[in-house]
A and B are shown apart, each in its own frame.
Chain A
């Protein structure tokens, strides 16, 4: 079990799973833009809390929490970077405003991670693709979008396998100082990037043979 499970669709029946994917997509887009537009803590907190009923209705709280836990590390990182940069740029002092904006930035990330996670957990890429096509979204867009969405879980599963492979070679991801921990991700990230590139090349090749330019 891993943080990546927070991105994997699984076939179960719940009111949220059965919802028209276009509605869920619309909801995520609205959340996305609201989170980008507003930077008040109270608005962001509301957006975050709004997601929770959906999570409970869909019975995916376990997976959702796991994906948030995965995001927590990055969120913490965002927070530290924000605080540090305002501290240094404003002459080695911090104002309440600056702390507030660091919290807002972090919260914004958590809101985005949380809402995307619910979306991927409850929406099958196939349904989404069909729905987009039926609603007369231009074919190219629907195709690009569903292909991208389809590869999110594939990527997540691949990341899991890579982590397993490196753990089997004695890599301890959580060991060491803060910097060491970040460096521990290199043996996972590089194979992930390289095999994604390899895959996209082959995919492009397979599609190339069928496209008339």
Chain B
């Protein structure tokens, strides 16, 4: 459980990046945080594992305030994948990179090996086991960064832009993985600009703008609200765009899933015949 109450955060450069955020994320929830560049998304999620401490207000993780504990303490339960993989890769091989956190958390040798195999397989990296992570393509480096955190199977996962540089198949793998995590009651918080990916996942969506949360609700409600999205510099997903253009024909306006769209269109078009 993540509880945030009236959270303000001011960077030392006097930028007020968060202006009174309150929200709760329950265990097992899947939340996407969206909003324009500089809205404060990364700043907000860095509070969830104690990397940043509130200037005002508080953040509680499982009822404990982040100011009363350390990042090292929180990290084991809360995995955090950063936006830019180049900010964390340092090992000689992909295998060692993934092993780093597992060793820090004191997992046993056999477990470490198993978890590495599992994570590399999940992210399609098995062929690169002994390759240096610096010699991989952009998308591959991002996946190594993801693997190195998923490997220790934390209860809560925070993903900052996980789909950058990924092709559709990799995104689909990630989505399946997230679904699997949810069946295990794990919490996932994803910061992203990828509207189509959010439309496919249909999680709870938080919209941020200038350090504030301007909307919080179901994906189908928020991703179909043109006015809200434009305020946060986001465009409608394609399916929602199509249905909006067809609004004069009395079509429902909360459709973002392609198969829902297909079924509705088939019904209408067949009826007309």
* A-to-B contact residues, CB < 8 Å: 1, 5, 8, 10-12, 63, 158, 161-162, 164-172, 186-187, 190-191, 194-195, 198
Binary per-residue interface labels of chain B (116-149) against chain A in the complex, 1 for a CB within 8 Å, 0 otherwise = 0000000000000000001000000000000011
> Given A10-B14, A164-B46, are A169 and B149 neighbors across the interface (CB < 8 Å)?
yes
> Which one, B69-77, B164-172, B194-202, is touching chain A?
B69-77
We find that the number of chain B residues with CB closer than 8 angstroms to chain A is: 27
Shortest CB-to-CB span from A167 to chain B, Å, is 5
Q: Specify the chain A residue showing the minimal Cβ separation from B145.
A: A165
For the A-B complex, the count of residue pairs with Cβ-Cβ distances under 8 Å equals 73
Pick the most buried of B75, B79, B84, B86: most chain A CB atoms within 10 A of its CB. Answer: B86
Chain A neighbourhood of B46, CB < 8 A? 164
CA separation between A52 and B272, bound complex, in Å? 84
CA separation between A198 and B136, bound complex, in Å? 13
Shortest CB-to-CB span from A185 to chain B, Å, is 11
From B13, B14, B84, B104, give the contact of A169 (CB < 8 A). B104
> Given A167-B51, A169-B148, are A191 and B14 neighbors across the interface (CB < 8 Å)?
no
Given A167-B75, A169-B104, A187-B90; 16 other pairs, CB 8 A cutoff: A8-B13, A12-B14, A164-B51, A165-B82, A165-B87, A169-B100, A169-B148, A170-B72, A170-B75, A170-B76, A186-B90, A191-B86, A191-B88, A194-B89, A194-B134, A195-B86
By the criterion CB–CB under 8 Å, are B86 and A171 in contact?
A: no
CA separation between A169 and B71, bound complex, in Å? 9
* B-to-A contact residues, CB < 8 Å: 12-14, 46, 49, 51, 71-72, 75-76, 78-80, 82, 84, 86-90, 100-101, 104-105, 134, 148-149
From A11, A12, A63, A161, give the contact of B87 (CB < 8 A). A161
> Given A8-B12, A10-B14, A187-B100, are A172 and B72 neighbors across the interface (CB < 8 Å)?
yes
Shortest CB-to-CB span from B132 to chain A, Å, is 10
> Given A1-B12, A8-B12, are A168 and B49 neighbors across the interface (CB < 8 Å)?
yes
Chain A neighbourhood of B12, CB < 8 A? 1, 5, 8, 10, 63
Could you list 14 examples of A-B contacts with CB < 8 Å?
A: A12-B14, A158-B87, A161-B84, A168-B75, A168-B82, A169-B148, A169-B149, A170-B101, A172-B72, A172-B104, A191-B86, A191-B87, A191-B89, A195-B86
